[in-house]
Structure 1
Amino acid sequence: MTAQPDVLAPARLGPITLRNRIIKAATFEGRTPGALVSDDLIEYHRAPSAGGVGMTTVAYCAVAPEGRTEDGQIWMRPEAVPGLRRLTDAVHAEGAAASAQLGHAGPVGNQRLTGHRALAPSRSFSPLSMRPIHAATVDDIERIRRAHGTAAELAIESGFDAVEIHFGHNYFASSFLSPKLNHRKDDYGGSLANRARVVREVARTVRDTVGDRIAVLAKLSMDDGVPGGFWLDEAIQVAKWLEEDGSLDAIELTIGSSLLNPMYLFKGDAPIHEFAGVMPQPLKTGIKLVGSKFLHAYPYRDLFMLEDARQIRAAVSMPLVLLGGVTDRAGMDTAMAEGFEFVAMARALLREPDLVNRIAKEPDTRSLCIHCNKCMPTIYTGARCVLVDPV
């Protein structure tokens, strides 16, 4: 029998050691004007680093210009490196590690905002931009695969300790996994083995690029949250393949589709009024009229991904990160007891960046997050808890 690890004790993650097993999850910050690092972005990540997390994850670092969801996001290029280096230096000065989330938005990319075509396995129509989504060619797939390797090298140059590859939420790689979005007849469509090729090839490219210089994680969807989408039974097999490939040091498990059901990940209230308030016309009117058809509210409960995640845990032996409703020491200890090596926190740290330090001092500390999700629309003006910082 292996003793249950202490979530607050140092832990190995691939080639690096974190001061504890708590990771700040990637949530888009809305603090990257000109697709570059700002002082606000640095402070956004410095605060939870000073507040006690083992590692903070910078989101979202696109691997190509069209891989962004909108134009105010970093895409990995030499011009971004000096700012990213200032950010990682600030995080390291607080004793935490820094991870860069790398990915390509694929069908979640909004052509109306980026000026670039959205790409997916198959042609469809975007409910986000109200424009066509184009089918990626084999050359597109190869270009994007290589771009992940280039981005990973730039992450090392920027001082990051880890990268997290985005294989979730129906972004590019995840959209290939989804039978609902992937109708291809070539080697990237049809069987699960074919639909998983992009995920496996990208992971291998990143690992081959970075070697053991930094840790490599992936955020993998377990369930798209839509009928006919990617589901847990297939996610189990994909996790097994990723373990066999040996490309990753850990997998962070997630759910939901940013394209088709964005609230599935964010259990709690659906802030329809707030989303409408930050959208331009005609989206503003559309959200007011039919927002409830797209932004569904789901009841919140602590550790809401655990039931699905434990099935992945039973199928693989590699390190896993439990996300979803991790808000207190009791939940963290439950995750450790269930065999997860790390936990990830998002909304709770937005409300209280120093929550981890407070939990370390007083284990019975409770998070003040009420899961209203009104933080979600603030990504367009600077992600924040509106109950703490309403402006």
Structure 2
Amino acid sequence: MNEIFAPATLGPVTLRNRVIKAATFEGRTPDALVTDELIDFHREVAAGGVGMTTVAYCAVAPGGRTDRHQIWMRPEAVAGLRKLTDAVHAEGAAVSAQLGHAGPVANAASNRVPALAPSPLFSPLSMRAMKVPDEHEIKELVGAHANAARLAVEAGFDAVEIHFGHNYLVSSFLSPLLNRRKDHYGGSTANRARMAREIACAVREAVGSRIAVTAKLNMEDGRRGGLTVPESLQVAAWLEDDGALDALELTAGSSLLNPMLLFHGDVPRRSFANALPGPARWGFKVVGRAFLKEYPYREAFLLERARQFRRELSMPLILLGGITNMDTMRTAMAEGFDFVAMGRALLREPNLLHRIRSDEDTRSACVHCNECMPTIYTGTRCLYRPDRAPEPIELTLDRRY
């Protein structure tokens, strides 16, 4: 317990403990700007004892959102973000901004901007082909990440987490299944990793040593033909050699192709179908069973994959996936991980860490039903805490894209 709850350094930042609130899209930004509800969400988690909470999702461009209600990093967003970081700091915690571009996961119909993909793909949301960026446009996307990181510094964040997972844009470039390019950003593992490395270095150059820089990296996509652990290990080694990152948070799965690999536990197919707007709802009913696969829940369910990275890398690593009690945290520390990240357990009990510190035999009340997953459309929450529901956000499909 002393090791887990003692101060720990993450690059230039000292966290009060080794527990990080993982990025879980909050669904509390109807106008793509910070709201009091979003501030309260993170203030409550910070007051509950985490070392750092992560604001998700802060897109680097308006077309990089999975939905137009998400924050995208621009000068108009800074004042609200500063109010949020001040609130978290007042509770004694640090705060990170998750930066990224959703790429093929972006909702082009909602954003009214075409989604991006490394190679030609069809979007079931917008019912048309996604846009394939050329090398000049890729350089602009790299610059957009750097600019977003500068705004995060201005807004008072202690860290940024760059999203290299879940088949969002960078992750889709890493995937041999999705990336069939013939230029400098496709083909070999080195070429497919080029965007990730350029973004990490550009973000580090933009922020210097003022804040910590981490990345959420897919260990595997969980789909045949996608990114595998051996390839991801090579990408991680290159990122380590580049020296731009202070830590890697290891994840798995694809929001596009296999989301349940990230979550494990019960599969809320009916709730997902009911949460979607009409056309998408009927499509989901057809493909839902294949899309949402079943992975029984177990504690530290990503550990077996993650320990391969721990053996090969010397940089700090953050263990994610099924971290809910002191025993699992101790296991992570014993395996050599520097931090642990918690998501669903803190949705259920924001004060879980305080309870664990008081009684190390405490067990999370989370039952891994995953009914929180479909609530991203109406305000992410544990359904065992219905009092925490914000005002619902209306989803629309626009046929112009």
Q: 1:384 aligns with which of 377, 381, 384?
A: 381
Within 5 Å, which residues of 2 pair with 1:1-391? 6-389=3-386
Contact 2:108 2:125 in 1 (8 A): no
Q: 1:128-179: CA deviations, max 9, x gaps?
A: 4433222111122111100011000000000000000000001111111000
Distance 1:373 1:305 in 2: 17
Distance 2:258 2:109 in 1: 20
Q: 1:95-131: CA deviations, max 9, x gaps?
A: 0000000000011111111111111110111244433
Equivalent AA in structure 1 for residue 140 of structure 2: R
Distance 1:59 1:268 in 2: 22
Structure 1 residue runs of 5 or longer lacking an equivalent are none
The TM-score, its normalising length taken from structure 1, stands at: 0.98
- SS of the residue corresponding to residue 83 of structure 2 reads helix
Contact 1:162 1:215 in 2 (8 A): yes
Contact 1:111 1:131 in 2 (8 A): no
- SS of the residue corresponding to residue 99 of structure 2 reads strand
Distance 1:360 1:216 in 2: 28
Distance 2:126 2:352 in 1: 37
Per-residue deviation, 1:90: 0.5
Equivalent AA in structure 2 for residue 322 of structure 1: L
- SS of the residue corresponding to residue 35 of structure 1 reads coil
The TM-score, its normalising length taken from structure 2, stands at: 0.95
Aligned-pair identity (%) = 65
Structure 2 residue runs of 5 or longer lacking an equivalent are 390-401
Per-residue deviation, 1:265: 0.8
- SS of the residue corresponding to residue 377 of structure 1 reads helix
Per-residue deviation, 1:336: 0.2
Equivalent AA in structure 2 for residue 337 of structure 1: A
Q: Once structures 1 and 2 are overlaid, which stretch shifts more, 296-305 or 90-99?
A: 296-305
Q: 1:309-344: CA deviations, max 9, x gaps?
A: 000000100000000000000000000000000000
- SS of the residue corresponding to residue 95 of structure 2 reads strand
Distance 2:116 2:186 in 1: 15
Distance 1:41 1:262 in 2: 24
Equivalent AA in structure 2 for residue 99 of structure 1: S
Per-residue deviation, 1:20: 0.0
Distance 1:289 1:194 in 2: 36
Contact 2:220 2:252 in 1 (8 A): yes
Per-residue deviation, 1:284: 1.5
Distance 1:139 1:345 in 2: 38
Distance 2:217 2:228 in 1: 11
Distance 1:111 1:291 in 2: 21
Q: 1:259-291: CA deviations, max 9, x gaps?
A: 111122110111111111111111112223331
Equivalent AA in structure 2 for residue 352 of structure 1: E
Root-mean-square deviation over aligned CA pairs? 1.1
Equivalent AA in structure 2 for residue 371 of structure 1: H
Contact 1:122 1:184 in 2 (8 A): yes
- SS of the residue corresponding to residue 357 of structure 2 reads helix
Distance 2:287 2:17 in 1: 44
Contact 1:84 1:158 in 2 (8 A): yes
Per-residue deviation, 1:5: 7.2
Distance 2:80 2:100 in 1: 19
Equivalent AA in structure 1 for residue 4 of structure 2: V
Structure 1 segments (4+ residues) deviating >6 Å: none
Distance 1:154 1:331 in 2: 36
Contact 1:128 1:259 in 2 (8 A): no
Per-residue deviation, 1:388: 1.8
Q: Once structures 1 and 2 are overlaid, which stretch shifts more, 70-79 or 263-272?
A: 263-272
Per-residue deviation, 1:238: 0.7
Distance 1:5 1:172 in 2: 39
Equivalent AA in structure 2 for residue 204 of structure 1: C
Distance 1:297 1:126 in 2: 24
